[in-house]
Structure 1
């Protein structure tokens, strides 16, 4: 390799709330010579980053444009409402949207939910970001609905959250431009799907595995047919079925007993 050549690398973008650490660990174990570069990006910017080729793949929030992107759904998150710790809602283990009808709910500009009609009372303004909205919740100005991972990411000691059982949910997927499905993208797909390193579906399957299996399968029937042919040939040469021939070899004295089936002698 000359000094001007770049080492191979895989660029993975991910949105806030997603934790790619477990997949990155597997990647580093399987591809120690290929660096995986992580880049956290706002959820709304993920499609643009992938279209521009600034990342090879991304862990993003659905939906995505399926006419351009391929996507593998990974999991769906519980939706929660973030509230001050002394709020009345904390008395319940879970709530519904009806329970929030009289509450001021923030709808930040980077909201990951595609609301047709946002629930609750409208806020005086739309915060620019989710962290900005959380600051307003801490000031007892209103409440905020987010995926549970974002509530954990932006955790504050003076706030808590409760599941909202009938709220829309956010799903996370691995996505990439369909026309840019490279070998490294295929390898990462195998990792997120839980394929082993020797999986025949993955590009990293152990070389020669299928060949060895094929040779073994071809040898076994040949050995079985060889035994049958030998047995039939022996029986044909003796003029007797193979089973009776075997019996004659193991018990010569007993083979004479069938003579008793003849007509008994008449005693004088």
Structure 2
């Protein structure tokens, strides 16, 4: 069974992406179910190509052949490390700080890598959202000020004709419920905006009660 067989929409997301706002808006506007699926960054393209998900919030870069990709926002890379590590005394770090220290740098946040970091055997360089969502009392994160930001995007297959894809794109891009694209996708005409009425002009000559006979 592919992701679209149940009539709903299945959305994958890599670690660090928060879907709370978009899920709430979808539930307010559409009856079709929206299922969300955890996807590792290493598995993000395979999940799309295999049809495990209809769309996926991915971390760029990703091989784009056969995919549509909309870049959404950038994230600050951080160093996630033990509170006891010598670099934890800094407010921010640079690539030179890491080179001078000679610490092993790991570019993922797998459970094994986090264990290494807690024992100061390594430090993790990850997007800030991952360090925040995995907040731990025994670890801190510092901005890597001279590192290129990472980008989160929304991807789906070029040949996927799921009728709800355009609606979900509209939710993510902030289209209103009355936008032309959203209404057309639902087979409805967009409602015209309500005109604001100004104050009612006073009647000529005043009211009857106030006139002298």
With the length of structure 1 as denominator, give the TM-score of the two structures.
Answer: 0.64
How far apart, in 2, do the equivalents of 1:169 and 1:52 lie? 29
How far apart, in 2, do the equivalents of 1:152 and 1:8 lie? 34
Q: Residue 76 of structure 2 contacts residue 143 of structure 2 at CA under 8 Å; is this kept in 1?
A: yes
Size of the alignment, in residue pairs? 187
Select 1:167's aligned residue among 130, 136, 147: 147
**More RCO (CA 8 Å, sep 6+):** 2
**CA positional deviation for 1:208:** 3.4
User: In the alignment, does 2:182 pair up with 1:183?
Assistant: no
**CA positional deviation for 1:153:** 2.5
Select 1:208's aligned residue among 189, 195, 199: 189
**Structure 1: which 5+ runs fail to align?**
1-5, 112-128, 214-268
The structure in which a higher percent of residues are strand is 2
Match of 1:39 in 2: 37
How far apart, in 2, do the equivalents of 1:46 and 1:164 lie? 25
User: In the alignment, does 2:122 pair up with 1:142?
Assistant: yes
**CA positional deviation for 1:207:** 3.0
Q: Residue 198 of structure 1 contacts residue 205 of structure 1 at CA under 8 Å; is this kept in 2?
A: no
The structure in which a higher percent of residues are helix is 1
Match of 2:209 in 1: none
Q: Residue 197 of structure 1 contacts residue 204 of structure 1 at CA under 8 Å; is this kept in 2?
A: no
How far apart, in 1, do the equivalents of 2:165 and 2:32 lie? 12
How far apart, in 2, do the equivalents of 1:187 and 1:41 lie? 22
Structure possessing the higher radius of gyration over alpha carbons: 1
How far apart, in 2, do the equivalents of 1:37 and 1:205 lie? 20
Match of 1:62 in 2: 60
SS at match of 2:159: helix
User: In the alignment, does 2:131 pair up with 1:133?
Assistant: no
Q: Residue 103 of structure 1 contacts residue 142 of structure 1 at CA under 8 Å; is this kept in 2?
A: no
**CA positional deviation for 1:204:** 4.9
CA pair 208-138 structure 1, distance change in 2 beyond 3 A: closer
**Structure 2: which 5+ runs fail to align?**
194-213
User: In the alignment, does 2:75 pair up with 1:94?
Assistant: no
SS at match of 2:10: strand
Q: Residue 197 of structure 1 contacts residue 206 of structure 1 at CA under 8 Å; is this kept in 2?
A: no
Match of 1:21 in 2: 20
How far apart, in 2, do the equivalents of 1:156 and 1:140 lie? 14
With the length of structure 2 as denominator, give the TM-score of the two structures.
Answer: 0.80
**CA positional deviation for 1:46:** 1.2
How far apart, in 1, do the equivalents of 2:190 and 2:147 lie? 49
Per-residue CA deviation, residues 89-142 of structure 1 (Å, 9 max, x unaligned), is 23332111101112322335xx4xxxxxxxxxxxxxxxxx62211111111212
SS at match of 1:50: helix
